[in-house]
């Protein structure tokens, strides 16, 4: 072959290679192609990028995580009859308003209206009196992520300049990618491999009892909304628990959102800590028995009771959060210098009463509780807490549980306690109360609370006292004030008992 022919052949080969190289370089990455396909299926990238506001209205159910009858039982839920989520996506603002009614026996207001907002990095709640209060930075982060739990907002965010899409993988009938926003928040988008429609969004959040949790919103029953496709059914799970179920009656795009700016007083307020500080005081309610109260427990109260034995102190409840529980434990250690705090009785599994469980474990306390709580409490002690490192994450220790069944006696020369399982409770079937025979004192949580608006389980409270043949002179609840038993009966009689709705 002549030199000229060889050169021509070489040029042809180089041209083919160059064309292949250019084609390879111009090929859309699979992660971006997934987003582009989802955008096209929803109504087109141009329409999605032009979205300024979204208003979602509907009705549904909002479950009470950690407030079921037993750790394994279905969650109690509020019925939501008016729901509106307004999103100003261009300005990073959101407002959620809902009217909800209890569908379960409840001692406080059975009907409530909630207003929650976000304005950039400012999260806030508005109480029924119209007073707004700023939330922590952690709450602001979680609400920022909540704004992305909708097909239009997640795909719009993925189309924005500066968004990073990575980690393409498959799971069942879904193709998943991770989206990191320019603000640094990361969520997971799942797209149905058949329909190309967004099927779910996942993000992480922090829960005081559960630690790191996965929030997953599933999108079902798509319909047209002004040329865009939107889901009419949205279901949110917190890990394995369904905590929110919404039937969207309408979704309006670019219809206006009104003024969603945070109130000036809120914007100017200092960012509160994740948990408020606790200043615990000790009030002696019997010989060697103290009620640990003070600031930080809230108007409804969530007290701890300390019992002095010959060589140690036992607590009843470590409530609310790690900081209050740690303050309670530290205060109890000062009651009788030289006597260590060794045990805590956790009355039941409800989250406001078991929120300090991990703090107690980190401090080396043995947990006394009903046997039905044992497996769940071990799970709580083993869960990761990385978004916020609590006491047990910083100081890992194994949990030690002394489970009880129907009765348990804790007694020595200084103190005699009788623990009883509450039968047939319609509030919490793992509940344990403490009776002090010497003082005819009843120490309990949620069996009777003098601050309640009504007493849906008053009959059960009195029936358990009768069944156990307990004569009570003094009632020491962990919610509300200490009373004589005649005062207890008078309080119950004065307030109408209201059942379920």
Is 334 within a domain? yes
So what's the pLDDT on residue 495?
85
Structural contact between residues 28 and 36, judged by C-beta atoms closer than 8 angstroms: yes
The whole-number pLDDT of residue 274 equals 84
> pLDDT for 354-402, tens place per residue?
999 999 999 999 999 999 999 999 999 999 999 999 999 999 999 999 9
Q: Which helix (H) or strand (E) holds 48?
A: helix 45-49
Does 6 reside within a domain?
A: no
- 4 domain residue, yes or no: no
- Count how many domains the chain has: 2
- Domain boundary among the residues 261, 294, 314 is at 261
Q: Residue 231 and residue 222: Cα distance in Å, rounded?
A: 4
CA angle 492, 493, 497 (to 5 degrees): 70
Low-confidence ranges of the chain (pLDDT < 50): 8-26, 299, 498-501
Alpha carbon 132 to its chain centroid, in Å, reads 21
Q: Could you give the angle at the alpha carbon of 196 between the alpha carbons of 192 and 198, nearest 5°?
A: 60
pLDDT at 129: 87
Instruction: Calculate the dihedral angle through the C-alpha atoms of 449, 454, 456, 459, rounding to the nearest 10 degrees.
Output: 70
Same domain, 99 and 135: yes
At residue 205, the pLDDT reads 94
**With contact defined as beta carbons under 8 Å apart, do 449 and 353 qualify?**
no
Inside any domain, residue 241 = yes
25 lies in some domain = no
Is 424 found in the same domain as 307? yes
**In a shared domain, residues 152 and 252:** yes
Strand pairing class (407-411; 416-421): antiparallel
Local structure of 332: helix, strand or coil = helix
List the domain range (segments joined by +) for residue 119: 30-261
Residue 483, domain CATH: 3.60.15.10
Predicted pLDDT at 320: 87
Do 136 and 279 form a contact (C-beta atoms < 8 A)? Answer: no
**What CATH number does the domain containing 204 carry?**
2.50.20.10
């Amino acid at each position: 072959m002549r030199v000229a022919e060889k050169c021509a052949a070489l040029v042809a080969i180089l041209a083919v290679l160059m064309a292949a190289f250019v084609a390879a370089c111009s090929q859309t990455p699979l992660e971006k192609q997934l987003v582009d396909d989802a955008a096209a299926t929803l109504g087109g990238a141009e329409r999605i990028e032009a979205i300024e506001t979204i208003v979602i209205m509907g009705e549904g159910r909002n479950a009470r995580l950690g407030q079921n009858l037993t750790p394994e039982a279905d969650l109690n839920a509020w019925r939501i009859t008016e729901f509106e989520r307004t999103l100003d996506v261009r300005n990073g603002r959101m407002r959620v308003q809902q009217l909800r009614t209890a569908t379960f026996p409840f001692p406080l207001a059975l009907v409530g209206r909630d207003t929650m907002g976000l304005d950039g990095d400012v999260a806030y709640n508005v109480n029924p009196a119209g007073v707004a209060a700023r939330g922590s930075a952690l709450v602001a982060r979680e609400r920022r992520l909540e704004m992305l739990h909708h097909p239009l907002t997640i795909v719009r965010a993925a189309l924005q300049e500066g968004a990073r899409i990575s980690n393409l993988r498959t799971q069942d009938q879904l193709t998943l990618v991770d989206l990191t926003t320019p603000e640094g928040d990361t969520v997971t988008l799942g797209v149905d491999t058949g329909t190309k429609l967004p099927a779910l969004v996942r993000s992480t959040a922090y829960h005081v009892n559960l630690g790191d949790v996965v929030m997953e919103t599933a999108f079902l029953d798509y319909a047209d909304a002004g040329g865009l496709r939107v889901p009419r059914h949205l279901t949110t799970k917190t890990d394995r628990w369904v905590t929110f179920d919404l039937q969207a009656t309408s979704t309006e795009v670019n219809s206006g959102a009104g003024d969603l700016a945070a109130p000036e007083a809120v914007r100017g307020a200092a960012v509160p800590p994740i948990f408020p500080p606790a200043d615990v005081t000790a009030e002696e309610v019997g010989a060697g028995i103290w009620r640990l109260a003070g600031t930080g427990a809230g108007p409804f109260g969530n007290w701890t009771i300390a019992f002095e034995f010959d060589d140690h102190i036992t607590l009843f409840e470590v409530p609310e959060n790690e900081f209050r529980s740690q303050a309670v434990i530290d205060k109890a250690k000062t009651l009788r210098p030289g006597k260590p705090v060794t045990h805590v009785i956790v009355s039941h599994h409800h989250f406001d009463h078991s929120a300090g469980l991990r703090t107690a474990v980190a401090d080396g306390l043995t947990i006394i509780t009903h046997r039905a709580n044992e497996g769940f409490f071990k799970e709580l002690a083993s869960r990761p807490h990385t978004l916020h490192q609590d006491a047990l994450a910083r100081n890992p220790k194994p949990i030690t549980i002394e489970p009880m069944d129907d009765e348990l006696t804790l007694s020595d020369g200084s103190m005699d306690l009788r623990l009883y399982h509450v039968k047939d409770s319609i509030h919490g079937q793992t509940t344990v109360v403490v009776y002090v025979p010497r003082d005819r004192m009843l120490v309990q949580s949620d069996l009777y609370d003098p601050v309640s608006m009504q007493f849906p389980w008053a009959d059960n409270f009195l029936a358990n006292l009768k069944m156990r043949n307990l004569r009570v002179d003094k009632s020491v609840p962990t919610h509300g004030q200490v009373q004589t038993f005649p005062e207890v009966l008078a309080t119950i009689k004065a307030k109408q008992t209201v059942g379920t709705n």
